[in-house]
Amino acid sequence: MRAKRYCKRISISVEYACSVKEKRWVEFKGEVDSTSIPVEWICWLNGQRKVAPSPEEMAMLEARRQRVKENVALLKKEEEERKAREGSSRKITTMGKGDGPDLKSFIQQLPVASEGDKSGEASEATSNKQKEKEVADQAKHEPESAEPTGSGASFRPGTWQPPS
Protein backbone atom coordinates (compact mmCIF):
# COMPACT_ATOMS: atom_id res chain seq x y z
CA MET A 1 0.00 0.00 0.00
CA ARG A 2 2.98 2.35 0.49
CA ALA A 3 3.98 2.02 -3.16
CA LYS A 4 0.64 3.38 -4.41
CA ARG A 5 -1.26 6.62 -4.12
CA TYR A 6 -5.05 6.65 -4.36
CA CYS A 7 -6.55 9.82 -5.79
CA LYS A 8 -9.93 11.35 -6.50
CA ARG A 9 -11.09 14.43 -8.33
CA ILE A 10 -14.53 15.97 -8.03
CA SER A 11 -15.80 18.01 -10.95
CA ILE A 12 -19.01 20.01 -10.84
CA SER A 13 -20.77 20.67 -14.11
CA VAL A 14 -23.12 23.63 -14.13
CA GLU A 15 -24.13 22.93 -17.73
CA TYR A 16 -25.88 19.66 -16.90
CA ALA A 17 -28.09 20.67 -13.96
CA CYS A 18 -25.24 20.88 -11.46
CA SER A 19 -24.13 17.28 -11.80
CA VAL A 20 -21.20 16.17 -9.69
CA LYS A 21 -18.74 13.69 -11.16
CA GLU A 22 -16.10 11.97 -9.14
CA LYS A 23 -13.10 10.31 -10.75
CA ARG A 24 -10.96 7.90 -8.72
CA TRP A 25 -7.65 6.36 -9.74
CA VAL A 26 -4.44 4.89 -8.39
CA GLU A 27 -0.93 6.08 -9.15
CA PHE A 28 1.78 3.43 -8.90
CA LYS A 29 5.34 4.13 -7.87
CA GLY A 30 7.73 1.94 -9.80
CA GLU A 31 6.36 -1.16 -11.53
CA VAL A 32 2.63 -1.22 -12.24
CA ASP A 33 1.04 -4.26 -10.59
CA SER A 34 -2.74 -3.98 -10.47
CA THR A 35 -3.03 -7.34 -8.67
CA SER A 36 -1.46 -5.80 -5.56
CA ILE A 37 -4.44 -3.48 -4.95
CA PRO A 38 -6.47 -4.65 -1.93
CA VAL A 39 -10.13 -5.48 -2.51
CA GLU A 40 -11.33 -2.63 -0.30
CA TRP A 41 -9.49 -0.09 -2.45
CA ILE A 42 -10.78 -1.71 -5.66
CA CYS A 43 -14.33 -1.29 -4.32
CA TRP A 44 -13.62 2.37 -3.57
CA LEU A 45 -12.07 2.93 -7.00
CA ASN A 46 -15.10 1.38 -8.73
CA GLY A 47 -17.55 3.44 -6.68
CA GLN A 48 -18.91 0.49 -4.72
CA ARG A 49 -17.76 2.21 -1.51
CA LYS A 50 -18.46 5.84 -0.79
CA VAL A 51 -15.70 6.23 1.81
CA ALA A 52 -12.10 5.19 1.26
CA PRO A 53 -10.84 2.50 3.65
CA SER A 54 -9.12 3.84 6.75
CA PRO A 55 -5.65 2.70 7.82
CA GLU A 56 -7.17 1.06 10.92
CA GLU A 57 -9.64 -0.88 8.78
CA MET A 58 -6.85 -1.99 6.42
CA ALA A 59 -4.69 -3.14 9.37
CA MET A 60 -7.60 -5.10 10.85
CA LEU A 61 -8.41 -6.75 7.49
CA GLU A 62 -4.74 -7.58 6.85
CA ALA A 63 -4.52 -9.27 10.27
CA ARG A 64 -7.67 -11.26 9.43
CA ARG A 65 -6.21 -12.32 6.06
CA GLN A 66 -3.05 -13.47 7.84
CA ARG A 67 -5.10 -15.57 10.30
CA VAL A 68 -6.97 -17.15 7.39
CA LYS A 69 -3.67 -18.02 5.66
CA GLU A 70 -2.37 -19.60 8.87
CA ASN A 71 -5.59 -21.61 9.29
CA VAL A 72 -5.36 -22.84 5.69
CA ALA A 73 -1.75 -23.93 6.22
CA LEU A 74 -2.75 -25.74 9.43
CA LEU A 75 -5.65 -27.52 7.71
CA LYS A 76 -3.41 -28.60 4.81
CA LYS A 77 -0.86 -29.99 7.26
CA GLU A 78 -3.57 -31.91 9.16
CA GLU A 79 -4.95 -33.28 5.87
CA GLU A 80 -1.50 -34.47 4.79
CA GLU A 81 -0.95 -36.16 8.16
CA ARG A 82 -4.36 -37.87 7.94
CA LYS A 83 -3.60 -39.09 4.40
CA ALA A 84 -0.21 -40.39 5.57
CA ARG A 85 -1.87 -42.35 8.43
CA GLU A 86 -4.52 -43.78 6.10
CA GLY A 87 -1.96 -44.46 3.37
CA SER A 88 -0.03 -46.89 5.56
CA SER A 89 -3.15 -48.94 6.33
CA ARG A 90 -4.94 -48.59 3.02
CA LYS A 91 -3.73 -49.46 -0.47
CA ILE A 92 -4.45 -46.71 -2.95
CA THR A 93 -4.35 -47.63 -6.62
CA THR A 94 -3.87 -45.02 -9.27
CA MET A 95 -4.37 -45.30 -12.98
CA GLY A 96 -1.66 -44.00 -15.21
CA LYS A 97 -1.95 -43.23 -18.91
CA GLY A 98 -1.17 -46.84 -19.83
CA ASP A 99 -3.79 -48.30 -17.49
CA GLY A 100 -7.41 -48.35 -18.54
CA PRO A 101 -10.62 -49.09 -16.69
CA ASP A 102 -11.56 -52.68 -15.96
CA LEU A 103 -14.00 -53.29 -18.81
CA LYS A 104 -14.49 -57.01 -18.12
CA SER A 105 -16.38 -56.38 -14.87
CA PHE A 106 -18.42 -53.66 -16.59
CA ILE A 107 -19.38 -55.92 -19.51
CA GLN A 108 -20.47 -58.68 -17.13
CA GLN A 109 -23.03 -56.28 -15.66
CA LEU A 110 -24.70 -55.64 -19.03
CA PRO A 111 -27.89 -57.59 -19.83
CA VAL A 112 -27.44 -60.53 -22.17
CA ALA A 113 -29.16 -60.27 -25.58
CA SER A 114 -32.08 -62.65 -26.09
CA GLU A 115 -31.59 -65.76 -28.24
CA GLY A 116 -33.61 -64.29 -31.12
CA ASP A 117 -31.21 -61.34 -31.38
CA LYS A 118 -28.18 -61.96 -33.52
CA SER A 119 -26.38 -58.91 -32.28
CA GLY A 120 -27.35 -56.70 -29.33
CA GLU A 121 -25.87 -53.57 -30.89
CA ALA A 122 -27.44 -54.16 -34.29
CA SER A 123 -30.89 -54.82 -32.85
CA GLU A 124 -30.62 -51.73 -30.66
CA ALA A 125 -29.69 -49.57 -33.65
CA THR A 126 -32.56 -50.93 -35.75
CA SER A 127 -35.07 -50.48 -32.91
CA ASN A 128 -33.94 -46.85 -32.53
CA LYS A 129 -34.41 -46.29 -36.27
CA GLN A 130 -37.87 -47.85 -36.10
CA LYS A 131 -38.86 -45.57 -33.24
CA GLU A 132 -37.64 -42.55 -35.18
CA LYS A 133 -39.71 -43.61 -38.22
CA GLU A 134 -42.82 -44.09 -36.05
CA VAL A 135 -42.40 -40.62 -34.55
CA ALA A 136 -41.94 -39.09 -38.00
CA ASP A 137 -45.03 -40.92 -39.31
CA GLN A 138 -47.10 -39.70 -36.36
CA ALA A 139 -45.96 -36.13 -36.99
CA LYS A 140 -47.10 -36.36 -40.64
CA HIS A 141 -50.59 -37.66 -39.76
CA GLU A 142 -51.32 -35.27 -36.89
CA PRO A 143 -52.72 -31.82 -37.76
CA GLU A 144 -50.53 -28.82 -37.02
CA SER A 145 -51.59 -27.12 -33.79
CA ALA A 146 -50.79 -23.88 -32.04
CA GLU A 147 -49.61 -25.71 -28.93
CA PRO A 148 -46.70 -28.13 -28.70
CA THR A 149 -47.82 -31.73 -28.25
CA GLY A 150 -46.17 -34.96 -27.33
CA SER A 151 -43.79 -35.99 -24.65
CA GLY A 152 -41.45 -38.81 -23.88
CA ALA A 153 -40.18 -40.69 -26.96
CA SER A 154 -41.83 -38.31 -29.43
CA PHE A 155 -40.26 -35.19 -27.89
CA ARG A 156 -37.60 -33.58 -30.06
CA PRO A 157 -36.09 -30.34 -28.73
CA GLY A 158 -36.04 -27.43 -31.10
CA THR A 159 -38.43 -28.94 -33.66
CA TRP A 160 -41.69 -27.21 -32.70
CA GLN A 161 -42.32 -23.89 -34.38
CA PRO A 162 -45.37 -21.74 -33.71
CA PRO A 163 -47.74 -21.50 -36.66
CA SER A 164 -47.26 -18.36 -38.69
Q: Cα angle vertex 20, ends 17, 24, to 5°?
A: 155
Average pLDDT rounded to a whole number, residues 144-162: 69
Q: Percent of the chain at pLDDT above 70?
A: 63
Query: What mean pLDDT value characterizes the chain?
Result: 75
CB neighbour class for 12 (10 Å; exposed up to 12, middle 13-18, buried from 19): exposed
- Please say whether the beta carbons of 58 and 50 come within 8 A: no
Q: Where are the beta strands (DSSP E) in the chain?
A: 4-13, 19-28
For the chain, give every domain's residue range: 1-53, 54-86
pLDDT tens for residues 64-91?
Answer: 999 999 999 999 999 999 999 887 665 5
pLDDT of 49: 86
pTM of the model: 0.41
